[in-house]
Amino acid sequence: MSNIEEIIYKHTLINAVKHKGKANNGAVMGSLMATHAELRSESKKIAQITSKILIKVNLMDYELQKSELQKLGGIKEKKPVKEKGLVDLPDVKGKVVLRFAPNPSGPLHIGHARAAVLNNEYVKRYGGKLILRIEDTDPRRVDPKAYQMIEEDLKWLGVKWQEKHIQSSRIETYYEYAEKLIEIGKAYICTCKGADFKVLKDESKPCPCRELSVKHNRKLWDRMKTMDEGEAVLRVKTDIQHKNPAIRDWVAMRVVNDKHPLTGDKYKIYPMMNFSVAVDDHLMGVTHVLRGKDHLANSEKQKYLYNHFGWDIPVFIHYGRLKMEDVALSTSKARQGIDEGLYRGWDDPRLGTIRAIARRGIKQKAITELMMEIGPKISDATVSWKKVYGLNRTILEEISNR
């Protein structure tokens, strides 16, 4: 048995003994990656060896496991590597699958960097998989140049993804699940005017469309494909008495008249974010979702969809808002400033985009260390340039020729 195999063997035995004879693959991988940072670069190889050793250990009876562990008792285990802000993921039960899902309205900014870096680092820690998913189901918010800019920004950040999906190419999949939801009576076509529905919703009253038959809803769904914007929406049935009015019978699909930069006028019905995200997270096997706390209500909405279909709900991890001193983080405001000549482009140093930060001379490692230090904590964080330049200076000191 090699040294690496012995380390894995001991970690597996420790986990098995703690859990009365049954070791858990995800927990063993998490323990290994946390205590042996040098193994992270070979996470795929480690995962394969761990899987084989896990089977061997779990076939042992409990007493033999304890005996084998006792034999290895003289080996001193390293203390876990404490990485600033990067706590272990909760409820790891197998292979970790994460996703970074930006909207292509422009290039990435420092706020996006937090989600991208944290997802990337967790995938490296657990030997999991990172999915890049471009969420472009609102034709009005798509900048055709952003598809390439996003990938360029991620590469500068050192983020590596194993799968890539563009949601506008998955519209037929969303139609399929919308129809399934109608079939099981958990969604309905609503033709009420928005203002009228809001009055009923705020009073916790259902609209007349809610009780339409499945057969009638199917007909309306077929007709919806030729309707104009605002004539009808598909609503997911939730608790009409929910304490948060925003959760009550939320919109899953709507008609958009604008052409899409990639698909043109092929489709008129587009999914809302909460519908497409929940469907994709399930189909793509996402286990943990890292998102801002401004998505707390969205997580609650998506849980209804998971429960309607009988799907396992991923672990939602919400973190606080990230602000940066003296820079504009709003993509729409930055675009307006560029159009008006206030900024010279997306890499104008006064902006908070990744390319603007790179133009200031900031190294990628400084941004990665900053995001690791902030971590996924729920409290809000404000980043100062003094902090960024301090991290950058430390990195430059190591490589500068004095």
Give the pLDDT of residue 28.
Answer: 87
What is the arithmetic mean of pLDDT over 344-349?
95
Whether residue 31 is found in the same domain as residue 8: yes
Whether residue 176 is found in the same domain as residue 244: yes
CATH of the domain at 328: 3.40.50.620
Whether residue 164 is found in the same domain as residue 179: no
What is the arithmetic mean of pLDDT over 251-266?
97
Per-residue pLDDT band at 336 (split at 50, 70, 90): very high
What is the spatial order of strands in the sheet that 233-236 belongs to?
187-190, 233-236, 251-255, 269-271
Say how far residue 104 (Cα) sits from the centre of its chain.
15
Give the whole-angstrom CA distance, residue 312 versus residue 173: 19
What is the arithmetic mean of pLDDT over 144-149?
98
- Say if residues 360 and 349 touch (Cβ distance below 8 Å): yes
Give the whole-angstrom CA distance, residue 27 versus residue 32: 9
3-state SS, residue 248:
coil
Give the whole-angstrom CA distance, residue 162 versus residue 79: 30
Q: Which residues contact 388 (CB under 8 A, 6 or more apart)?
A: 357, 362, 366, 367, 370
Q: End of a domain among 56, 71, 86? A: 71
Give the pLDDT of residue 269.
Answer: 98
- Residue 72 pLDDT exceeds 60: yes
Whether residue 295 is found in the same domain as residue 154: yes
Range of the domain at 119: 97-170+276-399
Per-residue pLDDT band at 84 (split at 50, 70, 90): low
Neighbours of 73 (CB within 10 A): 8
CATH of the domain at 184: 3.90.800.10
Q: How confident is the prediction for the chain on average, in pLDDT?
A: 92
Give the whole-angstrom CA distance, residue 103 versus residue 359: 23
What percent of the chain is modeled with pLDDT above 70? 96
In a domain, 267, yes or no: no
- Say if residues 257 and 282 touch (Cβ distance below 8 Å): no
Whether residue 214 is found in the same domain as residue 285: no
Tens of pLDDT, residue by residue over 392-402, are 999 998 877 76
Q: End of a domain among 71, 86, 120? A: 71
Residue listed under structure tokens 């600033």: 84
- Say if residues 335 and 106 touch (Cβ distance below 8 Å): yes
